[in-house]
Amino acid sequence: MSRVIRLATIFRTIGRYRLDEFIDAEALGPFPRAALALSPWRLHRAPALPRGVRLRRALEELGPVFIKFGQMLSTRRDLLPTDIADELAKLQDNVPPFPEQQSIAIIEKGLGKPVAELFASFDPKPMASASVAQVHAATLHSGEQVVVKVIRPDIEPVIRQDLALMFTLAKLVARYVPDGRRLRPVEVVADYEFIILDELDLGREAANACQLRRNFENSKLVYVPLVYWDYTCRNVFVMERISGIPVTDMAALEARGTDLKLLAERGVEIFFTQVFRDSFFHADMHPGNIFVDATDPADPTYIAVDCAIIGSLSDSDQYYLARNLLSIFRRDYREVAQLHVECGWVPPQTRVQDFESAMRAVCEPVFERPIGEISFGQLLIYLFRTARRFDMHIQPSLVLLQKTMLNIEGLGRQLYPGLNLWDTAKPFLEDWVQERYSPQSVLRRLQRQAPSWLEQLPLLPDAMLDNLQQSRDVEMRFAQQQQQVEELQERSAAKTRRHRRQMVAAIACLGAAVTVLPGAWQQLADAPLVSWLLAGLAIVLLWPSDS
């Protein structure tokens, strides 16, 4: 019953904001078109607002899960019109907090002790409240200032219910909305399901934060708060409380005299370091998750929080991505096309020259603009859109990469509008490719693999004998199968020869039967017995047999 009520609420909100206008009625079948025409939504006039604003407000009214979905959807600029993507990007996690008694109850149940015993002080009033969790300020008995992140009570059933409804709506969009299948709404919802369900496990987020902190230990690029594992479980996460300037607070950064050019360049360096050195990148680096330590304005450091969404690339994806980006920098579109085929991002039957031509048509107008005006993130979007025409299926890791690239580039341009991302990125990529295939790097990779090889070495003779025996077995089976095929062919040929002989004999019998007839065909009733016997024999010979 609750699902029916929720579905009614969704459809009522859709009607209030006349989101049905996103559907091209002419592209629908007769029944859906009639149902749309007779819908009670038609009784409401569309609000005098742009379509992107109407969609954003509808998602805001539908609650936290839909707000989060809108935020994720805003990153899929390869799928959405620009006006809608820009408007959805304005969605904020400004969600009313849940009661403090519930928050305290979740903490005490999760950690197994009263709040007063766990913390020297605990502020029941949340510092911030988002769609999935809210955070409280606290102090440990040892004196450390911390923040306590608490998952919203009973949110998982609500999320799963809304996800089920989203899948239903996505299937309707795919079926009835023009270009619905190209937009792949079911795939988008599936990506969102994977992301938001992972966000419900704060233990996973804490582990991600530890790994990211370890990757940048003793680095001036980025600082990740310390995790307190003794106070962390699936729905409670306690970490060090940091003090920094929100990265969007330009007035405060400028008042401190912060080196904004260096800060912008470090943001780009952080991104490429995470992607290519570590293959472990923070994939939710929107401004709300980034602060700046400007204690030394000439040497500022980023502070990153909320590590729930992490991206990772395989070794092969790292390599092909780096080479693709370098080829784009050099405007070598033939190599870009060949690399897409080599790494399996487009089907192997793709004509390289066609893909090369499409890449050139996308990139050349972009490169004709001044270098400082070229958006690297937008170029990635154009490339993904073009590749989609060649049946390229975007992997979730590449989608997260694109989203993070857009966030980083937007952040860098906000801090320092003259940021030349190309000049910052190209040397890094060239150095990475060169270092990856240097003798020292190859030796390090060999050393990493050596223990595994040494462990397997004593088993090598047995493995070789097993492979040899398997090879012999395969050869024997092949010989047997070949002999069976030859026998079948021989039987088939013999059967064909027998059928031919029967056909000849049958024709001969029919000819003889006609020859001995006493006269014309109308005297069949008076035909001699031998004619009937010959005709019967011909029929027997022509009768189909199973053998």
What are the catalytic residues? Answer: 284
Q: How far is CA 63 from CA 41, 71, 145, 159, 429, in A?
A: 21, 12, 32, 10, 42
CA–CA separation, 454 and 460 (whole Å): 10
Q: How far is residue 276's CA from residue 314's CA, in Å, rounded to a whole number? A: 10
134 in Cβ contact with 97 (< 8 Å): yes
336 CB-near residues (< 8 Å, 6+ apart): 324, 327, 328, 356, 359
SS3 90: coil
The C-alpha atoms of residue 183 and residue 397 are separated, in whole angstroms, by 18
3-state percent helix, strand, coil for the chain, nearest multiple of 5 = 65, 5, 25
* Nearest-angstrom CA–CA distance, 104 and 309: 26
Q: How many of the other CB atoms lie within 10 Å of CB of 315?
A: 10
- Residue 144 burial by Cβ neighbours in a 10 Å radius (0-12, 13-18, 19+): middle
CA distance 181 to 170: 10
Q: How far apart are CA 507 and CA 511, in angstroms?
A: 6
Taking CA atoms, 401 is separated from 102, 193, 280, in Å, by: 37, 18, 11
Strand partners, 246: 291
Question: Helices marked H in 223-306 — which ranges?
Answer: 250-255, 260-272
Q: Which residues fall within 8 angstroms of residue 178, CB to CB, at 6 or more apart? A: 23, 24, 27
> Do residues 292 and 258 touch, judged by C-beta distance below 8 A?
yes
For the CA atoms of 366, 371, 372, 377, what is the dihedral angle to 10 degrees? 40
Q: E strands within 152-306?
A: 222-223, 236-240, 245-246, 281-282, 290-293, 301-304
The tokens for 468 are 């040899």
Q: Which residues contact 62 (CB under 8 A, 6 or more apart)?
A: 9, 10, 13
Question: What distance in Å separates the CA atoms of residue 53 and residue 59, rounded to the nearest whole number?
Answer: 10
Reported as type and span, the H/E element at residue 135 is: strand 133-139
Q: With contact defined as beta carbons under 8 Å apart, do 248 and 415 qualify? A: no
Cβ–Cβ under 8 Å, residues 191 and 72 = yes
Q: What is the CA radius of gyration of the chain?
A: 35
